[in-house]
Structure formats: C-alpha cells, structure tokens
Amino acid sequence: MDNHNTAAIWLFTITAAGLVVLVSQKRASNKAADLLINTGGAEQVGIWLSKPAYSVSQHVAQPSGRRIIANLNDGFCGLNIVHISRLPFEQTGKANWTTLLAVIHQRRLPTAKRPAFTDWFDSQGTSNVPFQLPSWSSFKLRPGIRPRSTAYAVVSRTTLITLLSLCNARCTLRHSGVAGHRAAYTSYNGQWYIEWPLGAPAVVQFVKHDSHVLFSDVYPRSFARRVDKCIEMTAGIVVTPEPSKVKCAFPSRKPPGRWLLEYQPKGFSAAHGSRQLYHMMGGKVYEVDFLFAREYPDGKVFPPHERLLTLPSKDEDRHAIFCVRWEELQLLAHSMDCLPWSPVSWSIHRGLRDLLLSFSKTTMDTYRESLAQKLLDNVHQASDILEARGWHPEFIKESIPGIIYNSVMAGAGDSDDAVRVVTEAALLLWDRPMSGLDETRFWREQLDWPLEAKQPLTPHMVIALTKCFVLEWSVTFDHQIYHDLPAELLINRSESS
C-alpha cells in the first residue's frame, strides 16, 4: 500500500510540474506576442499583424508553421513562376521578411493608370494602393521574437541562394576573418546583408531600395521570373526543351593555359564546381551531361581544323585558350538556342557565361547594329502596345529609343532597367506562345550555314540575338557561396546592433 501511495504522489507531482511548465511557457509566449503588438506591432510586421495566419513564437531553434522555402523542386513557397517588383506594394514593417514578401508576388501586378499614379501615396510616400494585391495572405508563417529584436523568420541557405538568384543579386562585399563572415549583395529590388559573427547565429537583412519611389517609376510594376531557370543558370546548366531534353553543365573558369573541351554524357556527377550547389537545390546531378575542360599538354599542337576560343581565366591579366571540336561546337550552338528567356539578366555561373559569350561574339557583333535598329523600329511602330503594358508614355517617346540603341551597341553592362527595355522591345515582334521563346534554331543554323548580316531579321533571329544580349549583361555569381553560410539563417537584424 505504501508503494502505491508513493507512486501516486510521484505521478501527481510530475503531472503538476509539467502543467506549471506548460502554463509558464504559454504566459511567456503571450507576453512576447503582447509586447510585439503593444509596442508597435504594425511597425514591426506591417500588414501581417492583421492576417489570421500570423502568430508569434519566442523559440529561435524551432519556429512552427510554414517557413519561407525556395529551391529547384518547390519553387518559391510552392510556385515556380513568381512576379518581382522593384519596391514593396503593401505595408511592411521593420521585420525584413515583410519587405521580402512584398516584392515577390504570386501573380502579375495590375497595370498602372498613369494619370492617377501620384494619388496612391500619402505625404510620407508610403503605399496606399487601391487594388487587390495578389499577396501571400494565405501563407502561414510563425516568426519568432528575440530580446531587443524585431520578429524574425528562419530560412535555409538553399532558400537564401535561390532568393539571391531570383532577384539577380551580385556580390559587392565579402569578408571572412577571425570575427566571422560578412557579405553584401545588391539586387534589382533591394540590398542584402549577411552577417555571421563568431559564436552567434547568421543573420540576413533585406532592405528595399531608397533610391527609387513608386510614383516616379516609369516601368511596368512587375515582371515574371522562373525559379528553376534562375537556379539552373546560377549552377551553370542549360536544359533544352522537350522532346530532345538535354541537361548540360559547364565547367568553371580555368587558370591560364590551353584546354580541350570534352563532352562527357552524364559526367556531372564526377565534376567539381557547381555540382554540390545543384545537388543542394534539389537537382539530380546524375541526369546531367558535362563539358569537361581537359588540360592540353604543353608543346602539343592543337588539331589544325578545330575552333579555338579565347576565354577569361582566373588570372585577370591572362587568358585561357580552349580547343573546341565539332561535337562540342554543336552542343554550344544548341545551348545558345536553348537559353531560357528572361526579361532581366541572370545571376550566372561565370564558366557558362565565358564559354557561350566567346562562342557567340563574332556572330553577335556582326548582327549588333541590325538588332538595335530592328528593336527601334518595333518601338516606333508599337508604342501604344508598350503603353498598354504599363510603360510610361513620355518614357517610351523620349528615352526608350536611346536606351535600346546604346545598350545593344555597348556589348556589356549590369543595368536590369536597360535589359527590361530591350527584351520588351524584342517581344513586340513575338506573336506565338511564350514557351517558344526558350528555343530557337538561329545559332545551329549559323554553325551549319552562316547567314549574311544584311539579311532581314526574323522574329526568331531577334529573340536569339536578344537572349545573347541578356547573356552579355548578366552578372557572375559565386556558385560556391554555400561554403560561407550555415545550414540556417535568420531573416532580420537586431535593433541593438
């Protein structure tokens, strides 16, 4: 009997203690949530404060609810095609994830009615847009609160790299030392700052541009981006459309010297470079072919009839010479024809960019002026279509012609605004399904039967040359960035730092 009484007492004690712990945790969580709401909740989380799917947790390690997820298989939060705006189109808070979710949209934003454009903003310049936004209102997110911090969200490094690629980011600062790691990236719709102090969590801060305001923006409000294509270009992989679907990865930039380009079917699994990144993103590396750069022996003469390409090397002052045989030339031409269409430039694998630009340079230079003139003619003949698509009428008349001509003739650059203008002008000629933009036959035909530069440009030729222009204006991206990042990061920055 005494044993039974003792067991009952212990069971009651343990149960009571457990209940006390649960009640204490609940009170602490409620206190944290009340603290957020009572001390400027709207200032912290913006429009998310009013969303029923939003709740708050104090726990850093395991926040509940859905997280912001982006990768090759899931797209961005389940969508492969999203729409990007330069600036937020809904109320945001100090919590950086609210700004991020206000510049990435599920659907295209409605076309602006220019005469009433300035009526959408109050004296502080904040958004007061009178239309139904395709926002993430059904997105269940449970951010946490840290002491002296705003509400945060957790992302994996895979998601962060996908977001950088999606927003066309390029690195402007990178430093690793005994105190930790710090990096900065500029992108089309904001600035990214990454800090990973020694012994502390890694933190990402996303900040909207302070150099632009919505009421003076002369571009359409948003444009479409495909998550899978952004990842593939960052990883240096070109995927040809069905039915002859081929996936081919490109080698990394090489040291100065002589190299032989060698096609290896399904050889990406044994490759060094972007293989690990593509695998992290959810790609199947064993399905991918590989263009292997084999070092050519010193003193050995290149075959007499093979094509030689001069590429940048890891040494900025010296070049790498690639010998490309006929089979590999055909693959390069096929890759140029199957570059995915994009309204803006890419955050691109530099080995892919180096090889394709070297291969296409002579042809592109031959047609460059013809392309510029053709695009100018398109704009003059269809300015009403551009205006209906959201371009400002004065911008169409006064600025677009000069931007098109100078950008195409420049041969290189890093302005996504210029790329948006050129690609939109090219689309004025296209009256077929948008899926057809991903494959042309121009480069393969040029390889077999080179055309004269005086020949009139067809819509397919314009699209092929415009995709080469986008390649010229794309920015290189370090595909080994994952070495600098932990498995998980917090999107937000402490106010006390």
Amino acid identity for residue 249 in this structure: A
What integer pLDDT is reported at residue 453 of this predicted model? 63
For 30-44, 257-271, 463-477, which range has the lowest pLDDT when averaged over its residues? 30-44
Count of residues making up the chain? 497
Say which residue, 54 or 197, is predicted with more confidence.
197
- Could you give the angle at the alpha carbon of 235 between the alpha carbons of 167 and 463, nearest 5°? 70
pLDDT tens digits for range 29-43: 444 444 444 434 555
Query: 431 pLDDT band (50/70/90 cuts)?
Result: confident
d(CA 309, CA 414): 24
pLDDT band at 272 (very low <50, low <70, confident <90, very high): confident
- The mean of the pLDDT values for the chain is 82
Residues in Cβ contact with 14 at an 8 Å cutoff, skipping those fewer than 6 apart: none
Give the pLDDT score at 273.
Answer: 82
Model pLDDT for residues 154-186, shown as the tens digit of each residue: 889 999 999 999 999 999 999 988 899 999 999
187 strand-pairing partners: 190
- Which residues have CB under 8 Å from 458's CB, separation 6+? none
**One-letter identity of residue 265:** P
pLDDT at 409: 95
For residues 409-437, give the mean pLDDT.
92
SS (H, E, C) the chain: CHHHHHHHHHHHHHHHHHHHHHHHHHHHHHHHHHHHHHCCHHHHHHHHHHCCCECCECCCCCCCEECCCEECCCEECCECEEEEECCCCCCCCCCHHHHHCCCEECCCCCCCCHHHHHHHECCCCCECCCCCCCCCCCCCECCECCCCCCCEEEEEHHHHHHHHHHCCCEEEEEEEECCEEEEEEEECCEEEEEEEECCCCCEEEEECCCCCCHHHCCCCCEEEEEHHHHHHHHHCEEECCCCCCCEEECCCCCCCEEEEEEEECCCHHHCCCCHHHHHHCCCCHHHCEEEEEEECCCCCCCCCCCEEEEEECCCCCCEEEEEECHHHHHHHHHHHHCCCCCCCCCEECHHHHHHHHHHHHHHHHHHHHHHHHHHHHHHHHCHHHHHHCCCCHHHHHHCHHHHHHHHHHHCCCCCHHHHHHHHHHHHCCCCCCHHHHHCCCHHHHHHHCCCCCCCCCCHHHHHHHHHHHHHHCCEECCCCHHHHCCCEEEECCCCCC
Q: Looking at residue 491, what is its pLDDT?
A: 85
Q: Return all residues near 454 (Cβ < 8 A) that are at least 6 apart.
A: none
Is residue 474 within 8 Å of residue 347, measured between CB atoms? yes
pLDDT classification of 91: cutoffs 50, 70, 90 = confident
Higher pLDDT, 92 or 413: 413
Residue 2 above 80 pLDDT? Answer: no
Q: Give the pLDDT band (50/70/90) at residue 14.
A: low
What does the pLDDT read at residue 414? Answer: 87
Instruction: Give the confidence band of 138 by pLDDT, cuts at 50, 70, 90.
Output: low
| Close Cβ partners of 116 (under 8 Å, ≥ 6 residues apart) | none
Angle, helices 416-427/459-472, rounded to nearest 10 degrees: 170
pLDDT above 70: percentage of residues in the chain: 76
The pLDDT of residue 151 is above 70 = no
pLDDT band at 153 (very low <50, low <70, confident <90, very high): confident
Highest mean pLDDT among 47-61, 158-172, 210-224: 158-172
Could you tell me how far CA 13 lies from the centroid of its own chain? 55
What's the pLDDT at 216? 75
Residue 347 forms beta bridges with which residues?
Answer: 475
Which of the residue ranges 10-19, 354-363, 408-417 would you say has the lowest mean pLDDT?
10-19
Alpha carbons 136 and 153: distance in angstroms, whole number: 15
Task: Please report, rounded to a whole number, the percentage of residues in the chain having pLDDT higher than 90.
Answer: 55
Q: In the prediction, which pLDDT does 18 show?
A: 61
pLDDT given at position 391: 92
The pLDDT value recorded for residue 448 is 81
Mean predicted confidence (pLDDT) in 359-387: 94
Interatomic CA distance for residues 231 and 246, integer angstroms = 16
Q: What is the mean pLDDT of residues 322-347?
A: 95
pLDDT for 128 equals: 41
Residues 6+ apart with CB under 8 A from 153: 63, 67, 68, 95, 97, 141, 143, 490, 491, 492
pLDDT at 322 over 90: yes
Tally of CB atoms within 10 A around 415: 15
Say what the pLDDT of residue 120 is. 33
pLDDT of residue 33: 44
> What residue type is assigned to position 209 of the chain?
H
Q: What pLDDT is recorded for position 335? A: 96
Rounded Cα gap, residues 361 and 366, in angstroms = 9
